Structure 1
Amino acid sequence: MIEIERKFLVVSNDYKTKAFNHTRIIQGFLNTHKERTVRVRIKGNQGFLTVKGLSTSNGLSRFEWEKEISTEEAEMLLKICEPGVIDKTRYEVKIDNLIFEIDEFYGDNEGLIIAEIELENENDTFLKPSWLGEEVTGNIKYYNSQLSKQPFKLWKK
């Protein structure tokens, strides 16, 4: 139940031609405390409730627990979430034996595109595609829980 993940900004739309899947995601947060984030998500036609713990100092690892719930339950829980819903499309791209998840954001986070890759080990190496830009692993402003409170459109360019 430990998630090991690295995050990167995306510098082009080239990932779209390589994607084997894409899904619309709507999510909100019941709690955005840094030590325990509780997320409600509708991904396609599935609902999920997720609890994430505090990240390690390098931002690579943290506890994650997820449970599938009905979309009806997720819709009800979204109504009581903190302000700031995240709306995005997630594209999945397989490179070697790993899958990059690329999130293209809408609404208040329009213009932001972030790629994530989950690893088995913090020291795992992987091929970096040309559309992968600056690494932002551990930079809290790129966490979805923070984007819900301080969206991309409010950042100073």
Structure 2
Amino acid sequence: MGTEIERKFLLTSDAWRAEVSRSRRMVQGYLIAASAVTSGTSKSSVRVRVSGDEAWLNIKSSTLGVERQEYEYAVPLADGEAMLAQLCDGVVEKIRHYVARGDHEFEIDEFFGANDGLVVAEVELDAADEAFERPAWLGRDVSHLPRYYNLNLIGRPFSAWTAAEREGSD
């Protein structure tokens, strides 16, 4: 994998729902404490994710922005479930919906639990300045705001945000 270039957006409506090709429920937690990454004492986050009968470990650089180093490895489902239950301080639960547009596929994450009500779209790119089709339902780019990182949604979930933060204000 190596480098991930990803932009994250708020949504302006639910019109994307009519375009969903598939969906999958996911649960993920972090093996390195969120405070270590956000305080700058760690160069990466290490995540375990379980979806259906699959599990993965993901290592992502803690740099902010749209371009980060990322590595992902499949692990046995039983190991992934055990890590979530025994080694993570909390989890993020979501359904990921997939919507194809032009040459790209948007991943729309609909969160649950303490993050209920948060819905964001992500698109992976080959270059930070790559052009892509912007559907009418795609809103403000929030890629630069760390509060939208899944890692940070465990320590400070959407339910704890102010009204201004919920609207995407800085």
Alignment partners' CA distance in 2, 1:125 and 1:148:
32
Q: Distance in 2 between matches of 1:132 and 1:15?
A: 9
Cα distance in 2 between the residues matched to 1:64 and 1:5: 11
Residue 91 of structure 1 corresponds to 97
Q: How many residues align?
A: 155
Unaligned runs of 5+ in 2: 38-42, 164-170
Question: Over aligned residue pairs, what C-alpha RMSD do you find?
Answer: 1.1
Which residue number corresponds to residue 16 of structure 1? Answer: 17
Other-structure match for 1:101: 107
State the TM-score, normalized to the length of structure 1: 0.94
Given the alignment, which residue of 121, 138, 149 partners 1:143? 149
Note the C-alpha offset of 1:83.
Answer: 2.3
Are residues 1:46 and 2:47 paired? no
More helix by share: 2
Aligned partners of 1:137 and 1:117: how far apart in 2?
10
Percent identity of paired positions between Structure 1 and Structure 2: 37
Q: Take 1:140 and 1:90, find their aligned partners in 2: how far apart are those partners? A: 20
Partner of 1:66: 72
Cα distance between partner residues in 2 of 1:135 and 1:81:
33
Give, in angstroms, the shift of residue 17 of structure 1. 1.0
Are the aligned partners of 1:36 and 1:53 in contact in 2 as well (CA < 8 Å)? Answer: yes
**Which structure: greater strand fraction?**
1
Q: Which moved more, 1:32-41 or 1:144-153?
A: 32-41
1:9-45 deviation per Cα after TM superposition (whole angstroms, max 9, x unaligned):
1122111110111000001111133321010100222
Residues 5 and 118 of structure 1 are in contact (CA less than 8 Å); yes or no, is this contact kept in structure 2? yes
* Superposed structure 1 runs of 4+ greater than 6 Å apart: none
Offset at 1:71?
Answer: 1.2
Q: Normalised by the size of structure 2, how large is the TM-score?
A: 0.87
Structure 1 unaligned blocks of 5 or more = none
- Does structure 2 retain, via aligned residues, the 8 Å contact 1:83–1:149? no
| Contact persistence 1:40–1:50 (CA under 8 A) | yes
Aligned to 1:113: 119
* Matching residue of 2:158: 152
Of 117, 123, 133 in structure 2, the residue corresponding to residue 127 of structure 1 is 133
